[in-house]
Structure 1
Amino acid sequence: MKAFDLHRMALDKVPLDFLGEVALRSLYTFVLVFLFLKITGRRGVRQMSLFEVLIILTLGSAAGDVAFYDDVPMLPVLVVFITLALLYRFVMWLMSHSEKLEDLLEGKPVVIVENGELAWEKVHAENMTEFEFFMELRLSGVEQLGQIRLAIMETNGQISVYYFQDDEVKPGLCILPEGCSERFTEVPEAGDYVCVRCSKIVAMQKGEKQSCPRCANPEWSKASRAVRVT
């Protein structure tokens, strides 16, 4: 075999006119996936549950094979589509009658911020990192966690946010990118400092060094008291 053989890399052993068949097969599988999305009534991946994403990935695998391999017939992928569509309808019916099954397949909403503080134990138990949440919260106009009464990660990956009134905003962790707020291992002056990892607030004296009593992180930033600008 010759290395960097452009003809082999581009077509291998298939004839040039097979590319037209690939286009037809791709259109066929695109229509099947589109029809499935219409059946589920969803507008996008962010609105899908874990179970629905799994169904789409399974269908996509079958669709990919039939689109590119000349020895894979097109009718079996239609059977796959029909089977998955029926499975989806059946599982949806089962979940409407069983809360335990719904929790198993769809998951449960997770509280990520409660009373202005990251719900660290719940987030940690779910093996999730806080950074992706902070990005989502920034997109909702949140500057610091003390502005939030409650934030919930829904089963479809979206975050529902409930805010404090301006006069009820608490001091909290600034969630702007790292360069927008100073971090300290030794605090420069007395005041309230917040753990940059779990958002635990501790009153500290000038020159004090300590690890967070909640998550053992040694880095702190000044607690922000910014209110929302709407």
Structure 2
Amino acid sequence: MKAFDLQRMAFDKVPPEFLGEVALRSLYTFVLVFLFLKIAGRRGVRQMSLFEVLIILTLGSAAGDVAFYDDVPMIPVFIVFVSLAVFYRLVMWAMSKSEKLEDLFEGKPVVIVEEGKLAWDKVRGANMTEFEFFMELRLSGVEQLGQVRLAIMETNGQMSVYFYRDEEVKPGLCILPDVCIERFTRVPESGDYACARCGEVVTMQPHDHQLCPRCANAEWTKVSLAKRTP
């Protein structure tokens, strides 16, 4: 085999006239996916549950095969789409009747922040790091955890955030990126410090070195008193 053979790289053994069939197959699969999404409802990608994303990935695999491979017939792929559409409708109906089945397919919302602190016991099983949660909170306009009364990671991956009023904001962990805050394993002066992982606030004396009583983390930052900016 000759390396960098442009003929092989562009067409391999496929005749150039097959490109027209590829275009037709691509249009065919586009129409099938479009019809499925119309059946599923008007949801954006971030609004899709894990179950719906799995259905879309399965459709994408079938669509890719029929679009590019000349030995994949089009009618069986149509049956795949119809079968998945019926399955999707049946599962959605069953979930409306059974809360346990809904939890199985859709998952459950996860409480991320409670009363200005990361809900450490509840987020450890969410398969995300605290830095990913902090990123989502920043996208919701949060600068420090003391601004947040309650934050919930919904089953579609979006974050619902409920804020304290300005006069109720607590001292809390600043969740800006590391380049914006300084971390300490041994604090330089007396004051209130927040655990850099879970947000637990502890009063410490100069040169104190201790582990967080909630999550055993050794890094601390000075608490932030920032209020929300309009």
| TM norm structure 1 | 0.97
For residues 86 and 169 of structure 1, the distance between their equivalents in structure 2, rounded to whole angstroms, comes to 50
SS at match of 2:161: strand
* Alignment-mate amino acid for residue 202 of structure 1: V
In structure 1, the partner of 2:161 is 161
Within a 5 Å distance, the mapping from 1:210-225 to structure 2 comes to: 210-225=210-225
* Alignment-mate amino acid for residue 194 of structure 1: A
SS at match of 2:160: strand
In structure 1, the partner of 2:91 is 91
For residues 138 and 128 of structure 1, the distance between their equivalents in structure 2, rounded to whole angstroms, comes to 16
For residues 36 and 202 of structure 2, the distance between their equivalents in structure 1, rounded to whole angstroms, comes to 52
SS at match of 1:42: coil
Q: What is the number of residues matched between the two proteins?
A: 230
SS at match of 2:226: coil
| Percent pairwise identity | 78
Which ranges of structure 1 fall in alignment gaps of 5 or more residues?
Answer: none
* Alignment-mate amino acid for residue 46 of structure 1: R
SS at match of 2:229: coil
Per-residue deviation at 1:88? Answer: 0.6
In structure 2, the partner of 1:110 is 110
In structure 2, the partner of 1:143 is 143
The answer to whether the aligner puts 1:183 opposite 2:209 as a matched pair is no
For residues 18 and 199 of structure 1, the distance between their equivalents in structure 2, rounded to whole angstroms, comes to 60
For residues 190 and 61 of structure 1, the distance between their equivalents in structure 2, rounded to whole angstroms, comes to 59
Within a 5 Å distance, the mapping from 1:25-64 to structure 2 comes to: 25-64=25-64
In structure 2, the partner of 1:197 is 197
In structure 2, the partner of 1:21 is 21
* Alignment-mate amino acid for residue 89 of structure 1: R
Per-residue deviation at 1:199? Answer: 1.3
The answer to whether the 8 A contact 1:42-1:48 is kept is no
Deviates more, 1:213-222 or 1:110-119: 213-222
In structure 2, the partner of 1:12 is 12
Which ranges of structure 2 fall in alignment gaps of 5 or more residues?
Answer: none
* Alignment-mate amino acid for residue 219 of structure 1: E
Per-residue Cα deviation, 1:169-191 (whole angstroms, up to 9, x for no partner): 11111111111111111111111
Per-residue deviation at 1:42? Answer: 2.9
For residues 141 and 96 of structure 1, the distance between their equivalents in structure 2, rounded to whole angstroms, comes to 34
| TM norm structure 2 | 0.97
Deviates more, 1:15-24 or 1:61-70: 15-24
Per-residue deviation at 1:213? Answer: 2.1
For residues 42 and 155 of structure 2, the distance between their equivalents in structure 1, rounded to whole angstroms, comes to 14
Within a 5 Å distance, the mapping from 1:70-85 to structure 2 comes to: 70-85=70-85
For residues 214 and 227 of structure 2, the distance between their equivalents in structure 1, rounded to whole angstroms, comes to 26
SS at match of 1:125: coil
SS at match of 2:124: helix
For residues 34 and 160 of structure 1, the distance between their equivalents in structure 2, rounded to whole angstroms, comes to 30
Per-residue deviation at 1:203? Answer: 1.0
For residues 194 and 139 of structure 2, the distance between their equivalents in structure 1, rounded to whole angstroms, comes to 22
The answer to whether the 8 A contact 1:46-1:158 is kept is yes
SS at match of 1:19: helix
For residues 66 and 39 of structure 1, the distance between their equivalents in structure 2, rounded to whole angstroms, comes to 21
